[in-house]
Amino acid sequence: MNLEAPADAWYVWVGVALASIAVAGVVAGLPSQPPPDASTAANTVDRVAASEYGTTATYDPEATAVRIGTRQIGLRNDGGTQYASVSFGAMTPIGAARGATHAAGTALLSGVSPQQAVEQTAIDSELELRKRLAEVRERIDTRGANWRPLEGKLRIRSVRIDGRIVVLVGG
């Protein structure tokens, strides 16, 4: 009694072809890169926020999109999406600001002093700038953060504005 299938039987070749197609489909569906490391991004924000002095840092997450809330950061690329929470304070996502507030926040992220940022924009004082940044955080807490394209690196800076430390994040 012979239980082996002959190698020249058509159904053996069809089965092998179907199995090959299935394996190729699985391989094609695998991501080409790992998801970005949101934990390292959150740790970078925490290191900046925990510093006693104004601190600046950059982080290259190798992501194509970023979602910055006040307490959580999300990163996305072809490999997937990851989220991580920060432990120290609240982030102010500059990408969510508009008009003069966005211009002042971008200037602050590039290293200018709060007084210079106020002078470069149509904002009256550091107190007004701090209030506007607080409104950005409140809006994000109320409505949620949106995904934004990320070109380059994340920039993080803690700066004292009108006597209070504010952690700015942008990319």
Q: Are 161 and 129 in contact (CB under 8 A)?
A: yes
Along the 171 residues of the chain, how does pLDDT read in single tens digits?
Answer: 566 656 666 677 777 778 888 777 777 776 677 899 999 999 999 999 998 888 999 999 999 999 999 999 999 999 899 999 999 889 999 999 999 999 999 999 999 999 999 999 989 999 999 999 999 999 999 999 999 999 889 999 999 999 899 999 998
Local structure of 57: helix, strand or coil = strand
Neighbours of 43 (CB within 10 A): 15
pTM over 0.95: no
Residue 8, classified by CB atoms within 10 Å of its CB into exposed (0-12), middle (13-18) or buried (19+), is exposed
- Return the amino acid letter for 157: R
Helical (H) or strand (E) element with 10: helix 10-29
Enumerate the domain spans of the chain. 38-170
Q: How far is it, in rounded angstroms, from Cα 69 to Cα 66?
A: 10
Q: Are 119 and 127 in contact (CB under 8 A)?
A: no
